[in-house]
Structure 1
Amino acid sequence: MTDLEYLEHAEALLARVEACCDRINEETDADIDNQRVGGMITLSFEDRSQIIVNLQKPLQEVWLAARAGGFHYRFDGQRWRDTKGEGEFFADLTRYASQQAGQPLAFSS
């Protein structure tokens, strides 16, 4: 994948995370504060915990840091897959955000 292709897919992922946060805030009482600075989004929860999604351009990866740990994802042509496991970015973000919010949330591509 070229650097330009990576950036297109990675920017689409970040935009989708932001859109999901907006939808979740409208439809639930989760109250997720999301702030984007360049290639990084910080999701802040009511209990003051955070999830950080960060682009790693030199590696063509997206990193996710949550209470559960740090995870690296690489685009496989269709989805962002965990580089060390079988996880998919949006499924993992759903799981970790739900844990930190204390209620079921849904993030999707």
Structure 2
Amino acid sequence: MTDPEFMDLAEQLLAAVEASCDRINDESDADLDNQRVGGMVTLAFPNGSQIVVNLQKPLHEVWLAAQSGGYHYRFADGQWRDTKGGAEFFAQLSRDASAQAGQALVFS
């Protein structure tokens, strides 16, 4: 994968995270706050916890940091997959966000 290809795919991922936050806030009382600074999106929850998603451009990876731990994702076969466990990015983000929000949240 070239650097421009990575950046296009990674930007789509970050935009999808932001759009999911907006949709979740419209459809529930989760009250998520999301802020984007460059290649990083921070999700803040009412209980003070956070999830951070950021781009690791030199590695062509997206990293997710949550209370459950840190995960590294690479794009393969049309999905962002964890480099260790193989979990899909949005499935893991949904699990972590649900745990930190105390209610079921679905990111896509």
Q: Shorter chain as normaliser: what TM range?
A: over 0.9
Which runs of at least 4 in structure 1 moved beyond 4 Å after TM superposition?
none
Aligned to 2:97: 97
Q: How many residues align?
A: 108
Aligned to 1:71: 71
Aligned to 1:37: 37
Aligned to 1:3: 3
Q: TM-score, normalised by structure 1?
A: 0.98
Q: Percent identity?
A: 69
Question: Which whole-Å CA distance do the structure 2 matches of 1:89 and 1:65 have between them?
Answer: 12
Aligned to 2:15: 15
How far is the alpha carbon of 1:34 from its aligned partner? 0.1
Q: TM-score, normalised by structure 2?
A: 0.99
Aligned to 1:52: 52
Aligned to 1:25: 25
Question: Gaps spanning 5+ residues in structure 2: where?
Answer: none
Q: Secondary structure at the match of 1:19?
A: helix
Q: Secondary structure at the match of 2:22?
A: helix
